[in-house]
Amino acid sequence: QKEVEQNSGPLSVPEGAIASLNCTYSDRGSQSFFWYRQYSGKSPELIMFIFSNGDKQDGRFTAQLNKASQYVSLLIRDSQPSDSATYLCAVNERGANSKLTFGKGITLSVRP
């Protein structure tokens, strides 16, 4: 059974701080990795995807991937109260059209 673990949380940070969200996965054949943001009562919204080892930055968001350690993380710089949401890590083993396995999510609260 392929698993995606997001065990840390809930997470609370002050406004302007860096929020670090972590995720591990069990399938070494995994090829693509996604971070979705989900506000309460809403559907998941894609914020980042990464396929290669290393860092990928998009504005205040940086995704980090380490395939050897089977670890993917999301850093949110200059956190804002509007970043308060549940962040879902998702893994796809064979490409974008295969099924995604999601973690249970980490709830982030940014304190004003």
Partner 1 sequence: DAGVTQSPTHLIKTRGQQVTLRCSPKSGHDTVSWYQQALGQGPQFIFQYYEEEERQRGNFPDRFSGHQFPNYSSELNVNALLLGDSALYLCASSLNSGALNSPLHFGNGTRLTVT
Instruction: Check residue 109 for interaction with partner 1 (CB under 8 A).
Output: no
- Residue 102 found at the interface with partner 1 (CB under 8 A): yes
Cβ burial 86-102 (10 Å sphere, 16+ → b, else e): bbbbbbbbeeeeeebbb
Taking residue 24's Cβ as centre, other Cβ atoms within 10 Å add up to 18
The answer to whether 100 and 90 have CB atoms below 8 angstroms apart is yes
The residues in 9-68 that bind partner 1, with binding defined as CB under 8 A, are 31-32, 34, 36, 42-46, 49, 51
- Kindly indicate which of the ranges 13-21, 58-66, 75-83, 100-108 contains the residues binding partner 1, using the contact rule CB under 8 A: 100-108
Footprint of partner 1 (CB under 8 A): 4, 6, 31-32, 34, 36, 42-46, 49, 51, 88, 90, 95-105
